[in-house]
């Protein structure tokens, strides 16, 4: 499974309703604290190559929560104390950016030996993210017991989204339910074709080609409005855009560094996890 590979597509499938309104996105490195920079002291790259862009979130303890995971167990960040946490935000029926991001994280965790690290995947789709779908999403990424997909109602998730400057999908409950059902139908059709011996090439992730609004260039977007502004990232369109970055939380529960999707590679993420894991 390659780093930036979205889920395979059947020609003519996977497009949602053309009536969905376009939402545009703001770069995550501007949204979280409005701070862009290189990785903090101790997290260094080779002097022979340019340092990848990371952002430094506001220092201090990461905002905790108590949410149900894919198995129905209640989890919090406090439960992961002693391990490094790689946290990201996903919706399970996405077929482009989310699978690509999940593949990168999964590969990075395998590079570290999956020891001393936990992955928290946070839902941005309270309607479509069900235990069945989230379990299947983790299985497709080949995650082990170190990964947990956290879900809840919009009311339960909204305070966590705000704390981490996350804008979720903006689809209505009806649109989200219809999109999830369409994704289920696609995967069933895809599985049937695979069972017949039809093979498909993995599809590399590509940004959608549609214009970016001027608001994407605001230096400090207001994360409290839950409107994600910036370059387009999701081919499903408008109301299925959402924030896409990985936050690393150290063994003491402090938020340390973030990696926007555009800068995310398995090698760099694995490196940063190892550095944080090696700290006292």
To which residue do tokens 């309703």 refer? Answer: 17
Lowest-pLDDT choice from 21-25, 52-56, 123-127: 21-25
Give residue-wise pLDDT tens across range 133-170.
999 999 999 999 999 999 999 999 999 998 998 889 98
The beta strands (E) that lie in 187-253 are given as 203-204, 245-249
What kind of architecture, by CATH, is found in domain 21-277?
A: 3-Layer(aba) Sandwich (3.40)
Q: Sketch the domain layout of the chain as residue ranges.
A: 21-277
Residue 26 has pLDDT above 80, yes or no: no
Torsion angle defined by CA atoms of residues 195, 197, 198 and 204, in that order, rounded to the nearest 10 degrees? 80
Q: How far apart are CA 123 and CA 91, in angstroms?
A: 6
Using one digit for the tens of pLDDT, what is the confidence trace for 210-267? 777 665 565 544 555 555 456 788 888 878 888 889 999 999 999 999 998 888 999 9
CA distance 148 to 8: 24
**pLDDT tens digits for 173-222?**
999 999 999 988 988 888 888 888 887 777 788 888 877 766 556 554 45
Q: Indicate the angle between helix axes 266-277 and 97-111, nearest 10 degrees.
A: 50
- The predicted model scores a pTM of 0.79
CA distance 135 to 90: 13
Closest to 141 (Cα-Cα) out of 106, 178, 186: 106
Compute the distance between CA of residue 189 and CA of residue 183 in angstroms, rounded to an integer: 10
- CA 279, chain centre distance (Å): 25
């Amino acid at each position: 499974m390659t780093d930036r590979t979205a889920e395979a597509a059947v020609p003519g499938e996977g497009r949602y309703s053309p009536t969905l309104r376009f939402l545009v996105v703001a770069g995550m490195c501007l949204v979280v604290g409005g701070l862009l920079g290189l990785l903090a002291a101790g997290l260094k790259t080779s002097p022979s190559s340019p340092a990848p862009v990371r952002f430094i979130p506001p220092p201090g303890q990461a905002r905790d929560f108590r949410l149900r995971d894919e198995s129905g167990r209640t989890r919090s960040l406090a439960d992961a104390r002693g391990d490094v946490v790689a946290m990201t935000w996903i919706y399970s029926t996405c077929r482009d950016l989310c699978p690509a991001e999940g593949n990168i994280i999964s590969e990075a965790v395998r590079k570290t030996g999956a020891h001393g690290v936990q992955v928290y995947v946070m839902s941005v789709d309270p309607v479509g993210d069900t235990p069945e779908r989230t379990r299947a999403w983790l299985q497709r990424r080949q995650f082990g017991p170190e990964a947990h997909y956290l879900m809840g109602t919009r009311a339960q998730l909204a305070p966590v989204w705000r704390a981490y400057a996350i804008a979720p999908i903006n689809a209505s409950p009806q649109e989200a339910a219809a999109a999830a059902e369409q994704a289920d139908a696609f995967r069933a059709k895809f599985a049937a074709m695979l069972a017949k011996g039809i093979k498909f090439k993995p599809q590399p992730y590509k940004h959608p080609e549609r214009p970016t609004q001027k608001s994407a260039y605001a230096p400090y977007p207001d994360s409290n409005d839950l409107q994600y502004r910036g370059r387009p990232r999701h081919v499903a369109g408008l109301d299925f855009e959402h924030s896409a970055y990985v936050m690393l939380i150290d063994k003491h529960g402090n938020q340390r560094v973030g990696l926007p999707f555009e800068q995310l590679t398995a090698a760099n993420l694995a490196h940063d996890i190892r550095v944080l894991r090696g700290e006292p």
